[in-house]
Amino acid sequence: MSREKDLLRTETMPHMLCPGCGHGIVMGALLRVLSKRFENLDNVVLVAGIGCSSRIVAYIDGCTVHTTHGRALTFATGIKLARPELTVIVVTGDGDGLSIGGNHLLHAARRNVGLTCILFNNETYGMTGGQLAPTTVLNAYSSTSPYGNTEPAFDAANLAIAAGATFVARGQAFRTDALEDLLDQALDNDGFSFLDVMTDCTEYFVRKNSLGTGSDMLFSQGSVDKEIQADLAASPTIRPADGWPVRDILPTGVLHQAPRPSLSARLSPPIPGATR
């Protein structure tokens, strides 16, 4: 754990994450992967937009950029094109990355920009009052859907695949071992990597939908994962929360791999005969 602690900005503590928030678990997984892969973070840039998830870059002692709402991928694209040797990681939320920033996600994937985008998917706007998000599941309550959500949820992974991302995966705060492996694979990909991470908001989403505690929410992630349903059924001590709104069984792990030259590779070296 000491290596992970060395990557923290201790002067920014205590953190602002709520008790039971899955974001801290995902941050821990990211720190473990970074500490394993890099001696220091001098050549690693973490770019974030606006939201609870985006705040975690402030706690990591590396080259970090806190940008405007929904624009993290545009800033990250510029950084990667200017300094292609850097490892660029975008931390965004489902509202930040799929709503106001949805257009930028599409084109970063289409261009195959060589960066890794981690989307913290907690199905709500957690920082600004618990409003309905593009990923909020059917029938769920929020501050802007007091009678239950009537809109289908966005499948962020399928969106990234359709837009042209060369590596797409889905992980869970519930399974940090698998999540760390997916983060490793995403960082290995020479192109646009997209990782949709199921995490939970214990203050707004849980309370609005009477779903119990933070641990109940974590176990409920397992209840919609084909790979570990059998493990949950076999364990008398692990019980998913009851009363979950309508939610599909979601595939996890690596969902798509289709290597092709990244945008940086296509721009360098210059095309023979081209003029500046």
The edge-to-edge listing of strands for the beta sheet with 116-121 is 63-66, 44-48, 87-93, 116-121, 193-198, 167-172, 253-257
pLDDT confidence of residue 273: 57
Distance between CA 218 and CA 241 in Å, rounded? 9
Q: Which domains does the chain have, with CATH numbers?
A: 2-255 (3.40.50.970)
pLDDT confidence of residue 241: 45
pLDDT confidence of residue 153: 84
How buried is residue 199: exposed, middle or buried, by Cβ count under 10 Å (0-12/13-18/19+)? buried
Distance between CA 112 and CA 115 in Å, rounded? 8
pLDDT confidence of residue 68: 85
pLDDT confidence of residue 95: 81
Per the listing, tokens 């706690």 go with: 59
Cβ(52)–Cβ(17) below 8 Å: yes
Cβ(31)–Cβ(7) below 8 Å: yes
Bridge partners of 60, per DSSP, are 8
pLDDT confidence of residue 272: 60
Q: Per-residue confidence of the chain (276 residues) as pLDDT tens digits?
A: 567 888 888 887 888 888 888 888 999 999 999 999 998 899 999 999 888 888 888 889 889 898 888 799 999 999 999 999 999 999 998 888 888 877 899 999 999 999 999 999 887 677 676 687 888 888 888 777 888 888 888 899 999 999 999 999 999 988 899 999 999 999 999 999 999 998 888 877 777 777 767 777 776 666 655 555 555 555 544 444 454 444 456 788 999 999 999 999 888 766 565 554
pLDDT confidence of residue 245: 47
- What angle, rounded to 10 degrees, do the helices at 102-111 and 72-82 form? 30
Question: In sequence order, which residues have a C-beta less than 8 Å from that of residue 210 and are 6 or more positions away?
Answer: 243
Q: What is the pTM of this model?
A: 0.87
Bridge partners of 119, per DSSP, are 92, 196
| Structure token pair of residue 92 | 């965004």
pLDDT digits (tens, 9 = 90+) for 55-68: 888 889 889 898 88
